[in-house]
Every structure is written in C-alpha cells, then in structure tokens.
Chains A and B, each alone.
Chain A
Amino acid sequence: MTVPKRLIDEGTAFDRALLSAGRDERPSGDYERRVIAAASALPASASASAGRPSLLSRLVRPQYLAVVVAIGAGTAFLSSTSVPRGGRSDAASAATAEREVDPAPRPTTSFEANEGALLAVAVVATPDALPSAPAAAAPRASAPAAPPSAPVAASAREIAPAVASGASLQREVELLDTVKRSLRSGAHADAERSLESYDAEFPSGTLKPEAGFLRIRLLLAKGDRAKARALGDELRTRYPNGVHARRIQAALAADAGNEGQDQASPR
C-alpha cells in the first residue's frame, strides 16, 4: 500500500496555502480555559476508583445530597429557560455526549443523574479559581459573578479586553458584507448607503482598503469607469502590495476587457 505524501507538504502552492489556513485557524482565546473549567467540575470517573470507596461516594452523604439536589433542581429549571451557546456544553453536552457517544455505557447513580445541572453551577462559580487558568484570563477573576443561568462564554467575552476591537471589527465586516450583498443583487443605492455608513463609522477602519475596493466595484457597476480608475490608482499607490492591489487591478482589467468588447461588438 502506497503512503501518499501530504498535500500540505507536497501539493501545489495553492493547495498548501488553503490547507495551511485551515490548520492555523484557532478558536477564541478563552476557549481552553472554559473547557478546563467545565472538566474540573466533573466528578472523578467511576472507573478511576473501582475497587475501593471513592472520594465522591464519601462526599455524597445524605446531608450533602439534599443541598445538591436542591441546587440541581434549581439549575435544571434555569437551564430549561435559557440555553446559552457556550454554557450549553458546560453541562448538557457532557451528559448528552455520555448518552449518545459513550462506547461503553455504565450504570448511572442518582448523583450522576443530577450531575448535568450541578456542572452548570460549578462552571459559573469556579473557572477563575483554577490554577491552570492562563495569565491572560487573570483580569476576569475580579469580574462580578454571573447569574447561574447566564451564558458562560458570553459573560467571558463581555469582560475580555480584546473584545472591543473584535466587536468593532465584526461591525466593519458586517457593513462590508452588506455592501457585497447589495452589489451582487444590483442594489447600487443600498451598496452606496452602506459604504457611506462604513466611512462615517470607521474613518480609519481596519478594513478601509476592502471598503475602497468595494467602492471601485460599485463605481464600475454604475458605469463610472473614470472615477473607478482614479480611485483604483489612488488605492494602489496607498496599498501597493497585498491582495487588495491585486484585486483592484483584476477588477479594473476585467472591466477594461468588457469595455473593449462593448466597443468592438457591432450594435
């Protein structure tokens, strides 16, 4: 059996670029911390202590169990009224995965039946206390505790210092996506309005070159070739390298080709 060389090493430059982009993509910054927090809230596994009384079983005494059940029931009620994206997997997904993925089902105890709800409480209460929390997460420790039903991921994102720039970038992307959609559907006036909104909101936006490229596309779509070329020249002078310059050049060249065809074709 031949073992092929991997495309990421031996493929075309284009294949390698795409595969590298996929390999390098990363989840959000606090993802690992949240998952570790959720895992830390899990009780010791049953098989870890087989053959001797487990720490868990000794902790679960009637007086504790009453508290546990009360918290579990309360949290289960709260969870049923709010299913946060990040928080969902903290509790419910573990139990769901246990049922649906577990290759070797095992008997469940009454404690474990309440476990999903318990996890939601534990995760909200404890993540910043973890010794393994990365340094970047430290400022979050002083944040006010979220209510038990609040999404863990959402609350973490609200506090994270990097989110302000991320959110504003998200807004930039949304506005420019609106421009693209309008251009695709031929709604030039809508595209223009969105571009004006972008310019007003982000006079020094991170995606300014992309906005410029879209304005060129809009001008070309409206048939205003002179302005499109003038803007193209200006942008290529300002951003001579990179993908925008190539895209502007390609758009103007394609338009020039169309113009040539228009002039050459008999009417």
Chain B
Amino acid sequence: MASSPTVLGDGPPATAVRSDASVAAELEQRKIALIRAHLTPVWGFLRRLGLSPPDAEDAGQEVLLTAVRKMDAILPGQEKRFVFGIAVRVASRRRRSTRSFTSRAVDVDLDTCEAALPSSDEILERREALELLDRALATLNEEMRTVFILYELEEMSMPEIAEVLDVPVGTVASRLARARDQFQKATRRLQSREP
C-alpha cells in the first residue's frame, strides 16, 4: 500500500496542521485586538482608582492577560464589561494587599510625555490637573469612586456598570448620585484654593 506523505511519522495530518495554524493566527489577532482596544482605558481606570503609573501598568497587564486567557468565555460585544470586571477585582485585591494606593498615586509619570516634549506650562497644567483630580477622587470611598470613574470617564451606562460590579442598577444609580455630589463639592473646595 502506498503511503501518503501526510501519514509519515507520528505527526498530525497536514490538513489538520493548516487548520490549527489558521485557528492560532485568528486567536492571535483576537488577543491583539482585545489588548489594543482595552489596555489604555484599563490603565487609566486603574490610575484613577489610585495606582501609581508603574503599578497601573503592572495591574493593567495582569488584567489583560487574564482576559486573554479567558477570551473564549467573552461574548461578542461584552468585551469591555468583561475586562473591566476583571480590572475592578484586580484593583480591589491590590488595594487590600499592596501599598500601591499611596500618595505616589498622584505622581505624574514623565514617560507619558510622548512624541514632542510638551512645554513647561503644559506639563505643569497637566500635572496640577491630575493632582487635583486625584485629590477630588480621593474624597470618595472605593465603591463610589469605581462607579464614578466607570460612568464619567469610561462612559459606561448604568446597566453596564451594574453588570461589571454585579450589583443592581439602583445601587449604581445611588452610588453615582452620591459620588457626583461629593466630587463636585470637592472640586469647588479645591477651586477656591487655587490662585
């Protein structure tokens, strides 16, 4: 009986190899798309929750690698909810177990100055604005802060936030109302102190 090249040795048939290669390439593209779409927003979310820039990079990578591992569990259109759900849990764990959430959190990472170097005024204004923002956010407790950031900065809807946090929409609405009130009071206080 003539032997086919595809059955030589103990490897899989060539057609199966091609199929696996195609699946692997598709998976690779999905991974990259997921990371590109969500890495920077997740990093920003973690920064506003109080992590320093380097800690937010570590935590953000942890979040995205977890999401990539679980990619097959993500329903189409649910990527953002899934990734931010992981981010909330990673942030909460880090808050409990590390010293990431310290005054370093308001440091501005000068490595974020991309491309052309900004002017002194721009650096100062950016730095001051971020410091003031983080000071205002620091007046909120963890629950309110999370809801506030997801709504105001990540522009999620209240039902989406409810899914991310696994709480009723009414709870989200209540936390958001209190958070907005407290944030605005804080910014008014900060503004009155600014020259």
Does A18 lie within 8 Å of B124, measured CB to CB?
A: no
A sample of 11 inter-chain contacts (CB < 8 A) reads: A25-B47, A26-B43, A32-B40, A36-B35, A45-B72, A85-B58, A89-B62, A97-B86, A101-B89, A241-B121, A243-B124
Asked if B104 is at the interface of the complex by the 8 Å CB criterion, the answer is no
Q: Which residues of A contact B110 (CB under 8 A)?
A: 166, 169-170, 173
Asked if B79 is at the interface of the complex by the 8 Å CB criterion, the answer is no
B186 to chain A, nearest CB (A): 10
Asked if B142 is at the interface of the complex by the 8 Å CB criterion, the answer is no
CA distance A12 to B63 in the complex (A): 33
Given contacts A26-B112, A170-B110, contact A251 B28 (CB under 8 A): no
Does B71 lie within 8 Å of A40, measured CB to CB?
A: no
CA distance A241 to B123 in the complex (A): 15
The listed residue (A11, A96, A210) touching B62 by CB distance below 8 A is A96
Does A90 lie within 8 Å of B61, measured CB to CB?
A: yes
Does B124 lie within 8 Å of A210, measured CB to CB?
A: yes
Does A39 lie within 8 Å of B64, measured CB to CB?
A: yes
A binding-site residues for B, Cβ under 8 Å: 1, 3-4, 6-8, 11-12, 14-15, 17-23, 25-29, 31-32, 34-36, 38-40, 42, 44-45, 47-49, 53, 55, 58, 85-86, 88-90, 93-94, 96-98, 100-104, 132, 153, 157, 162-163, 165-166, 169-170, 173, 206-210, 239, 241-244, 246-247, 250-251, 254
Given contacts A23-B153, A35-B60, contact A132 B43 (CB under 8 A): no
Query: Chain B: interface secondary structure?
Result: helix
8 smallest CB-CB distances across A and B, nearest first, come from: A250-B195, A21-B129, A93-B62, A89-B61, A242-B121, A94-B65, A97-B66, A18-B133
Asked if B151 is at the interface of the complex by the 8 Å CB criterion, the answer is yes
Does B57 lie within 8 Å of A153, measured CB to CB?
A: yes
Does B129 lie within 8 Å of A166, measured CB to CB?
A: no
Asked if B14 is at the interface of the complex by the 8 Å CB criterion, the answer is no
Does B120 lie within 8 Å of A97, measured CB to CB?
A: no
Asked if B24 is at the interface of the complex by the 8 Å CB criterion, the answer is yes
CA distance A182 to B36 in the complex (A): 43
Interface residues of B in 143-195 (CB under 8 A from A): 151-153, 155, 157-158, 169-170, 173, 176-177, 180, 183-184, 187, 191, 195
Q: How many A-B residue pairs have CB under 8 A?
A: 222
Given contacts A22-B130, A26-B114, A101-B86, contact A1 B169 (CB under 8 A): yes
The listed residue (B68, B153, B157, B183) touching A42 by CB distance below 8 A is B68
Q: Which residues of A contact B176 (CB under 8 A)?
A: 4
B166 to chain A, nearest CB (A): 10
Q: Which residues of A contact B69 (CB under 8 A)?
A: 42, 45, 94, 98, 102
Q: Which residues of B contact A102 (CB under 8 A)?
A: 66, 69-70
The listed residue (A3, A29, A173) touching B114 by CB distance below 8 A is A29
Asked if B50 is at the interface of the complex by the 8 Å CB criterion, the answer is no
Asked if B140 is at the interface of the complex by the 8 Å CB criterion, the answer is no
CA distance A104 to B53 in the complex (A): 29
CA distance A24 to B42 in the complex (A): 13
Q: Kindly name the residue among B60, B133, B155 whose own CB sees the greatest number of chain A CB atoms within 10 A.
A: B133
